[in-house]
Amino acid sequence: MKKFTIVFTVLFLTSCAEMQQVINQLPGTTVTDADIAAGLRQALDLGIQRQVSKLTAEDGFYKNELVKILLPEELQKVDKGLRAVGLGSLADQGLLLMNRAAESAVKEATPIFINAIKEMRFADARNILLGPDNAATNYLIDKTQTALYQKFQPIIQSSFARVGADQVWSNIISRYNDIPLTTDVNPNLTDYVTTQALEGVYTMIALEEKAIRNNAAARTTAVLQRVFSLQDQP
C-alpha cells in the first residue's frame, strides 16, 4: 500500500504541531474533539460521494490515469510475448477486464469503507491531528486495511467471473505458456487487482481531502469550515 501511505500522510497532516499552535492562539476559538472527528469523517465521506463514485462507472479505473490498473511486473513479459506473436488484442482485452473487475468491486464494497470511516472515535481523531507525521496512515492501515482486503477480495474474484476476466486471463496465460522458450507464469491476479482497487479508492478520497484543505469553497458544511479553516490562519 505504498501509494496509499504517501498520499494520506501528505494530505491528512499538513502540520499537526502548527495547527495546534494556531488553535491555542485564537481567542474564543472552540474546536472540540467531536468537531475534529466530525470534520475528518465528513471529508472522507465527501471523498466517497464526489470521487470514489467515479470509479464505479465504466472506465472509472481504465481511463483514469491516477488509478488505472496496469500489469504487474510478472505479466509485463507476458504482454510483450503475446504482442511479439501477434496477440496484442488479447493482451489489451486482459488489461481492460482487470480494470472492469475493479470498477465492479468498488460499487459493491464502498459501503464497507464508509462504515470503517464512521467508526473513528474522538480520541482517534485527536491523535491523528496531533500525532506524528504518519498518524493518519497508521490509523487507517490498522483499522481498515485487513478488513477491507478481506471484503474486497471475494468481490474482485466474483467480478472477475462476472465480466469474463477469469476466462480471458486463463486463455492469456495458457497461450503465453505455450510460446517456446518462455518461463511459465501463474500470477495471483485476484490478489493483485484487490490491492490495486483499494489503492484507487484511497487515491480518490485523497483528492477530495486535498480540495477541502486548499479550497475553502469545497468546505460545504459548517463543521468542515470550522475545523479546516484553522489551517488557513497566518
Per-residue pLDDT of the chain (234 residues; tens, 9 = 90+): 555 444 444 344 434 444 444 444 444 457 787 888 888 788 778 888 888 889 999 999 999 999 999 887 777 777 777 777 777 777 788 889 889 989 888 887 778 777 777 787 887 777 766 554 446 556 776 777 787 788 888 988 888 888 777 787 777 777 777 777 677 666 678 888 899 998 888 888 878 877 877 788 888 888 888 877 766 665
Q: What is the pTM of this model?
A: 0.73
d(CA 221, CA 218): 9
Domain count along the chain? 1
d(CA 63, CA 172): 22
Q: For 219, phi and psi rounded to 5 degrees?
A: -85, 90
Range of the domain at 55: 2-232
**CB of 82 within 8 A of CB of 177?**
no
Burial class of residue 129 in the structure, from the number of CB atoms within 10 Å of its CB (0-12 exposed, 13-18 middle, 19+ buried): buried
